[in-house]
Amino acid sequence: MISEAICKLDSGNWVGSYGGPEWSPYAQAIADHYAVQVPWYLTIPTTLTGVALQRRTILSVPYQHDILIFGAHINIGTDAAGDNGQLVFLQVTDLESGVSWVTPNIINSAPATAFGGSRTEVTPILKLPEVYFLPKYTRLKFDWSQPTGANVTGGSITWCGVQLSQPRDGKAPEFVATPNGETIRVGSRMPWLSTVGLGRRTFTAGDLAFQMVAGGRYLQYTPPVDCAVEIHDIHCNFFTRAGVDMLPNNVMVKITDAGERGIWTPDLAPIPSTFGSMTQVYPGLPFTKPYLMKPGHRFQLSVQNNNAALAINDAMVTIRGVRLCEY
């Protein structure tokens, strides 16, 4: 939770794109419970076969050790197909709790570039806002889709983390304590991603499309959050489109919390100041301070495409954070 007195987060913090290699107190507290910690990687293929609108579901194999997942790398698509993962979508579901990482929006998944860094970036691994604890013998479900008509063949996502073995008392900890004295149930910190398509939505023969016309203005929302969420950063998939510069400086945004009267900014800000992209050092551009979204609240995005003659198609924004409630 956010400590008002010192204006800093005591949990669920620093691991995001902010803090370099530091572990969060939550991650450190879990890892301290184990005698052995070694690097761990898990590659999940898309199994896509180049068919537009194709969907694939992959289950990870149950693992015999507890895992902390820190981030991911993607190796997906090309400029011409799937736009290097920008138009390939992924939903991840924890099969133990049934909780999905991406909220049920119009597109209930997020561009692969919101999950992982790629070969096109300075940073090939994109960190999750907080580590995810994957208990042994449990599985994750990966739902790949291409709802906007991409046609990718192959590709994969590689999850990067730490394998934990030899727990002190023979089993994983149920709770850990953070420096502020708060007790957190292990596994309760789950990634929260919410993807919003920007612009006018159309749907033709199964093909979902969004378009921001030149000079257009659009108002979009995330769904209300069902528990407190600590928002860390924002990713978008449209600084380039099929390798072509979309002049993102001319696209402007105003972000507000639709549940707080006092949170308002007078300015439209160019999106490179608010959204990260796969073309940047920060695929998920951190907030200047993580924002605590209260239950029932939602983000409102006002977007203005001030490009004089450039429409932007299938522009997605993914807001990334971590859930702060138990399941």
Partner 1 sequence: MLVLEHLKQLIEACNPANRAEWERLWADIKPVKFGNTIDWTTAQEYVLASYQVPDEAAYNVVLRVECYTVATAIAATDYGMFEPPPPGTAFWRYVPFGTGATYNLTDTNAPVQRLLDADELLLFKGGYNANLIGNFAANPSADTREVRTLVYGYNVGALIADKIGRAEAEIPSQ
| CA pseudo-torsion sign 319, 193, 293, 32 | negative
Please identify, using beta-carbon distances, which residue of 169 and 267 lies nearer to partner 1. Answer: 267
When asked if residue 309 is in the footprint of partner 1 (CB under 8 A), the reply is no
**Among 181-189, 233-241, 259-267, 271-279, the segment contacting partner 1 (CB under 8 A):** 259-267
- DSSP class of 95: T
When asked if residue 205 is in the footprint of partner 1 (CB under 8 A), the reply is no
When asked if residue 59 is in the footprint of partner 1 (CB under 8 A), the reply is no
Q: How far is the CB of 219 from partner 1 (least distance, A)?
A: 5
Among 125, 268, 292, 325, binds partner 1 (CB under 8 A): 268
Q: How far is the CB of 303 from partner 1 (least distance, A)?
A: 10
Among 45, 8, 41, 40, residue whose Cα is nearest residue 24: 8
**Among 92-100, 129-137, 167-175, 206-214, the segment contacting partner 1 (CB under 8 A):** 206-214
Among 60, 156, 158, 304, binds partner 1 (CB under 8 A): 304
Structural tokens at position 223: 């769904």
**In this structure, how many other beta carbons lie within 10 angstroms of the beta carbon of residue 221?**
13
Start-to-end Cα distance in the chain: 17
Subset of residues 214 to 253 that bind partner 1, contact rule: CB under 8 A = 214-219, 252
Q: Do residues 241 and 278 touch, judged by C-beta distance below 8 A?
A: no
Please identify, using beta-carbon distances, which residue of 41 and 221 lies nearer to partner 1. Answer: 221
Looking from the CA of 1 toward its CB, the CA atoms found within 13 Å total 13
Residues within the interface to partner 1 (CB under 8 A): 199-200, 212-219, 252, 256, 260-268, 302, 304, 306
